[in-house]
């Protein structure tokens, strides 16, 4: 892979000074007073958050995680002015199908670590070797080691075009794409921008499924069963009271 023009090998190596700085900032956190009896009704309880911060300060072993992540072959390249970081895990099966795995927001390539083995080497996991995949798992522009973005405008369509170029650089003429959350927008766009090479798209979040179309007309509501009406009310409650991050 290091011989492919424009693609460089990559290893995660966070400077110790950065880790020390994080620990110092956690240690110096100024904690607010506690409202008696509020539990989780007014946000995260202070004591719970203090315990979590202390775990990050003194309990979490980043170097162990770094070694775990670096066990997988990683690379970087520049496409459309943007640095792209990705894992490239080749299957031991000679006729494996190339597959892009696309994370969502606010995720990362780490979401896919537990499926790398079964997908790339199903024979070793009790599966059918005919269902093996060569895996390309990018960090989307602006995420992880592909960040920061060099400029605005990185829509799902533009990301899809960049990833199509990545697959071309890797020498893949036929490949599939899988995505969830924001990846569920990018994967279908890959089929649109690179239809001659994309052989299939799978999403684990319906592209419109978590973005409702809008209000349901009263005449249509009248046809709903009690169960459907209850589900619609739950959706309305979520959109009004639990979906602020998405509105932002």
Rounded Cα distance, 122 and 169, in Å: 26
Tell me, what's the pLDDT at 208? 54
Average pLDDT, the chain: 92
Tell me how many degrees the CA angle 184-82-77 measures, rounded to the nearest 5.
95
Tell me, what's the pLDDT at 1? 52
207 pLDDT band, cuts 50/70/90, is low
Tell me, what's the pLDDT at 42? 80
Q: What is the pLDDT of residues 15-24, one digit of tens each?
A: 999 999 999 9
Tell me, what's the pLDDT at 3? 61
Rounded Cα distance, 18 and 29, in Å: 17
Tell me, what's the pLDDT at 106? 87
Rounded Cα distance, 28 and 121, in Å: 46
206 pLDDT band, cuts 50/70/90, is low
Specify whether the CB–CB gap between 159 and 142 falls below 8 A. no
Rounded Cα distance, 66 and 15, in Å: 12
Rounded Cα distance, 75 and 83, in Å: 10
Query: What percent of the chain is modeled with pLDDT above 90?
Result: 76
Quickly count: other Cβ atoms within 10 Å of residue 115's Cβ: 14
Specify whether the CB–CB gap between 157 and 144 falls below 8 A. no
Tokens of 28: 């110096």
Rounded Cα distance, 107 and 182, in Å: 9
Q: Give the helix/strand (H/E) hosting 202.
A: strand 198-203
Closest CA to 99 of 82, 112, 84: 112
Tell me, what's the pLDDT at 40? 86
User: Comparing 3 with 242, which gets the higher pLDDT?
Assistant: 242
Q: Give the helix/strand (H/E) hosting 134.
A: strand 133-139
Closest CA to 29 of 11, 51, 13: 51
Q: Look at the alpha carbons of 228, 229, 235, 239 in this order and tell me if their dihedral is positive or negative.
A: positive
pTM of the predicted protein model? 0.84
pLDDT at 57 over 70: yes
Residue 153 Cα distances to 79, 91, 146, angstroms: 14, 34, 15
Tell me, what's the pLDDT at 41? 82
């Amino acid at each position: 892979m290091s011989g492919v023009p424009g693609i460089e090998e990559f290893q995660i190596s966070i400077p110790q000074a950065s880790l020390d700085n994080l620990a110092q900032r956690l240690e110096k956190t100024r904690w607010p007073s506690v409202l008696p009896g509020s539990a989780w009704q007014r946000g995260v309880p202070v004591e719970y958050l203090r315990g979590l911060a202390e775990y990050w300060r003194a309990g979490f072993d980043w170097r162990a995680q770094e070694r775990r992540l670096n066990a997988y072959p990683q690379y970087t390249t520049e496409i459309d002015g943007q640095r792209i970081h990705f894992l490239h895990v080749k299957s031991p099966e000679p006729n494996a199908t190339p597959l892009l795995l696309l994370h969502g927001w606010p995720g990362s390539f780490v979401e896919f670590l537990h499926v790398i083995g079964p997908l790339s080497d199903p024979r070793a996991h009790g599966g059918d070797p005919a269902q093996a995949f060569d895996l390309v798992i990018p960090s989307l522009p602006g995420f992880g080691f592909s960040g920061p973005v060099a400029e605005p405008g990185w829509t799902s369509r533009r990301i899809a075009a960049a990833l199509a170029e990545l697959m071309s650089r890797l020498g893949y003429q036929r490949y599939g794409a899988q995505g969830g959350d924001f990846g569920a927008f990018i994967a279908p766009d890959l089929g649109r921008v690179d239809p001659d090479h994309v052989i299939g798209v799978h999403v684990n979040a319906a592209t419109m499924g978590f973005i409702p179309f809008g209000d349901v007309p009263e005449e249509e509501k009248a046809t709903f069963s009690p169960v459907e009406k209850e589900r619609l009310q739950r959706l309305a409650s979520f959109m009004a009271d639990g979906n602020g991050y998405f509105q932002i």
